[in-house]
């Protein structure tokens, strides 16, 4: 049965047998027990679990109506895909809330992953001479959302791990074990409800760990792509600097031999200006000299920009090279042997 109630906080505290401080929900994520009640908060979802019912507090304006009235009721009735359908009510309530939280985190990751991959594919293209700032802005926003997701996953894992480290806390989560005589008899006869609760929490801890690993891979991919972007930008920057340097050399060469034309351009009388061939001769010398100087400067630039040649190996070292190779093979075999034995011990 699903129904909605409105009550004052003081009346709710008295009905549940709790104190006002128990329902303050100071942490974004917490799982605690008070007076045979389980108090859970998964970010905006605040719930109180008893052996008989599940109370969701302040669900309005949180877009929880569809989940509360269409999915949660069937899950708690045992019609859903909950693993704990045969266990007491509090197991199904805890699993339903944890499943809802994991599904929300998974949905956020599924939304971010294709956006990040598409943006990185557009940014890492080596054909682009410049980086699209709009793509960088989108990547920055997605990176911020990914950081928030990683933080939420970390808090989720730490909350569950705190309970897994304390056996008493796990025992306190089994509410029906202390209130229902039949459940108590089952727990003493062989069905360990504390162990079932531990397996339930470990299952969702592993799911959160898998999501955290996927988010971590996306983070590493973003960092690697940033390095590639910087390398491409440096490469294009080097090309532009080299082109600028070549043009500067050409301008210098042309200006150097242009002094000849400057000399002939002065208003000085000589017998050379009367010869009709002297113009073409001086012009040819200017362009030929400029070209030779520019070619000389380019060859000088190429020699200094080429990577250095590998050092010459003497004949004595060449003869001793097979021995060194044998030593390296032995060392590698020894390292592989150690790795094999280490993996065998782990499997055992």
Closest CA to 254 of 298, 284, 290, 283: 290
206 pLDDT exceeds 90? yes
- What pLDDT is attached to residue 312? 58
Helices then strands (H, E): number in the chain?
12, 4
- What pLDDT is attached to residue 214? 92
Of 73-87, 177-191, 201-215, the least confident:
177-191
The Cβ of residue 200 has, within 10 Å, a number of other Cβ atoms equal to 21
Residues 314-325 pLDDT 10s: 554 444 444 444
- What pLDDT is attached to residue 190? 58
Query: Domains, the chain, ranges and CATH?
Result: 64-180+191-237 (1.20.58.340)
Q: Mean pLDDT: which of 50-54, 59-63, 151-155 is highest?
A: 151-155
Residues 119-157 pLDDT 10s: 888 777 666 656 667 777 888 888 899 999 999 999 999
211 pLDDT exceeds 90? yes
342 pLDDT exceeds 90? no
The residues that bridge with 55 in the sheet, in sequence order, are 48
- What pLDDT is attached to residue 184? 59
Distance CA 263, CA 152 (A): 78
């Amino acid at each position: 049965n699903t129904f909605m109630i409105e009550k004052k906080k003081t009346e709710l505290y008295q009905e549940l047998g709790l104190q006002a401080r128990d329902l303050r929900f100071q942490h974004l994520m917490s799982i605690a027990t008070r007076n045979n009640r389980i108090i859970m908060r998964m970010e905006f979802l605040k719930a109180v679990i008893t052996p008989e019912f599940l109370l969701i507090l302040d669900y309005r304006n949180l877009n929880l109506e569809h989940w509360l009235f269409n999915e949660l009721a069937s899950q708690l009735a045992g019609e859903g895909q909950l693993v704990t359908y045969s266990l007491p009510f509090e197991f199904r309530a805890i699993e339903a809330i944890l499943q809802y939280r994991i599904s929300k985190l998974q949905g956020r990751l599924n939304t971010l992953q294709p956006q990040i991959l598409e943006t990185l594919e557009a940014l890492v293209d080596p054909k682009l001479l410049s980086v699209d700032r709009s793509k960088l802005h989108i990547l920055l926003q997605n990176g911020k959302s990914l950081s928030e997701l990683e933080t939420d996953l970390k808090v989720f894992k730490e909350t569950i791990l705190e309970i897994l480290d304390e056996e008493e806390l796990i025992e306190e989560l089994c509410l029906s074990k202390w209130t229902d005589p039949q459940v108590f008899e089952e727990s003493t006869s062989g069905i360990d409800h504390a162990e079932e609760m531990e397996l339930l929490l470990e299952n969702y801890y592993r799911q959160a760990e898998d999501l955290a690993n996927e988010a971590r891979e996306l983070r590493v991919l973003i960092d690697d792509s940033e390095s590639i972007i910087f390398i491409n930008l440096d490469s294009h920057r080097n090309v532009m600097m080299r082109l600028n340097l070549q043009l500067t050399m050409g301008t210098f060469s042309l200006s150097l031999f242009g002094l000849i034309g400057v000399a002939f351009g002065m208003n000085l009388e000589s017998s050379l200006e009367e010869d009709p061939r002297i113009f073409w001769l001086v012009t040819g010398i200017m362009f030929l000299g400029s070209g030779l100087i520019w070619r000389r400067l380019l060859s000088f630039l190429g020699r200094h920009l080429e990577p250095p040649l590998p050092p010459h190996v003497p004949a004595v070292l060449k003869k001793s090279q097979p021995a060194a190779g044998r030593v390296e093979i032995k060392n590698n075999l020894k390292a592989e042997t150690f790795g094999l034995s280490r993996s065998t011990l782990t499997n055992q």
